[in-house]
Amino acid sequence: MLLLLAAVPLVASACLGLLAPWAGNRLPPGSAVKVLATAAFVTALATGFCLSIVAFNALARIPLIATLGKWSAAAAGLDGTPPPVGGVVLGLAVIGLLLAALRRSARTATDLTHAVLACRRLQELSDGLVLIHDPVPDAFALPGVRGKIVVTTGMLQALTAPERRALIAHEQAHLAHHHQIYIQAAELAAAANPLLYRMPKHVRALAERWADEQAAHDVGDRIVTARALAKAALARTTKPARQPAVALPATDHQMANRVLALTRPRPRPHPRLVSALLGLALISAVSSIWMAHTTETKFEHAQQAYAQTARNSH
Amino acid sequence: MAAARGRPRGGLERDVLACLAAADRPLSPTEVLAELGGDLAYTTVMTTLSRLHGKGVLTRESAGRGFVYELPVPLREVPASVSANRMRRILDSGDDRAGILARFVSDLSPDDEEVLLRLLSQDPPTRER
């Protein structure tokens, strides 16, 4: 029973990882980001919790620990508890994952702090718009307390007025909808649960799509938004003045997919798919709570059994 | 044509600034209006320009019966632009390990470049309505 319950969040996170790309193509990107990031975070938390409970159960069978805890080692071993050696292995795994999650959180906190400080230093023209006088086309959003949109003159010159509006609306959408929170939640989930290792990539790509859709909605024209994306991407690649940066090989066709998605109608809401994904998170949470409850009951019995034998031996 | 939608508060200021930053000469309110297009009233654009001038964001000079507006000439090595450029270097070098910065467009693979060029050359673009 114990191992069965512990398997639930593991299976749920594996399903979530497998379903993410498929669901991302079907759901409106906004709901996809929210649902996937939330579900990933909850299942990762439940996985860690369940694994720690199994590890605790297994270690509790060690006679020395049982004596210290004043429970019967034999009673602690009931309910399909794995042998102590399994507890040691699992315990080490849980500690490893916990450390990975902590390291990830520390990195996020440092980088976010740097971003917020940089954001405060940047002098905006008006309403969070920061202009860099540079012919190299570039634009990005910098999250902060209010956030800033940084854009070069080169980027603005590559676009027409409606396309510039789409660009600014896109970056504004990143800030207004707090995309960072979802992305960092997915990163944290992946650090704590390796079964979700591809989730951050999906959530990032979907956050870009979300901002694209929001921009298309704000400008009121999908094609203008698609053109803005295409022209900006081409301007960046073909500009010879650009420093040959550590160019990540773009093999995932993200830009082409984003532009093509805007030439098609906006994805429809898909409440059943959303419920299914949230269901995975829910059963993980329920199974971890259930596990905690059965373990508590088992240890109450084990302590009673211990007290019983102690009395009998007197 | 696309439906004219309300701009978010402050959205117009940003659009006006982006328009002036893209132009390499001072623009009159009429020219800004022509750039930004349809759904705006002349007075709205003029009010926005003079408000931005009032805040010290824009410089203006008289031309004919009205004013032309432009962004002030940037001073080299302004601390603000130095730190903005540092952010860009962080993006380029892949040092943004937590992925805090979101760039508008990512790099293109050669076949994506072809796809996008083909899409842009479809002129006038097919609009789905």
pLDDT digits (tens, 9 = 90+) for B17-71: 999 999 888 999 999 999 887 678 899 999 999 999 998 889 999 988 889 999 8
Q: Give the pLDDT mean for A251-258.
A: 80
Checking if the pLDDT of A243 tops 50, the result is: no
- Interface residue of B35, B105, B107, B108 to substitute, partner A, most A CBs within 10 Å: B105
> To the nearest whole angstrom, how far is the Cα of A216 from the nearest Cα of chain B?
10
Three-state secondary structure along A188-219? HHHHHCHHHCCHHHHHHHHHHHHHHHHHHHHH
B57–A183 C-beta distance less than 8 A = no
- The chain-wide mean pLDDT, for chain B, equals 79
> To the nearest whole angstrom, how far is the Cα of A108 from the nearest Cα of chain B?
5
Q: Which two tokens stand for residue B6?
A: 């309300």
d(CA A219, CA A210): 14
Q: Can you give the pTM of this predicted structure?
A: 0.88
Q: Is the peptide bond before A21 cis (omega within 30 degrees of 0)?
A: no
Indicate the pLDDT class of residue A246, thresholds 50, 70 and 90. Answer: very low
Stronger pLDDT, B88 or A222, i.e. the higher one: A222
B92–A246 C-beta distance less than 8 A = yes
- CB pairs < 8 Å spanning A and B: 216
**Closest CA in chain A for residue B124:** A223
Q: Give the pLDDT mean for A94-111.
A: 93
Query: What pLDDT was estimated at residue B81?
Result: 67
pLDDT digits (tens, 9 = 90+) for A112-145: 888 888 888 887 888 889 888 888 888 999 888 8
- Inter-residue contact A39 to A68 (CB < 8 Å): no
In B, residues 109-128, which contact A (CB 8 Å cutoff)? 109, 111-113, 115-117, 119-120, 125-128
- CB-nearest to A165 from B15, B71, B108 is B15
Q: Give the pLDDT mean for B101-114.
A: 82
Q: Give the pLDDT mean for A268-276.
A: 95
ipTM: 0.82
Query: What pLDDT was estimated at residue A213?
Result: 96
Angle, alpha carbons B57-B59-B61 (nearest 5°) = 155
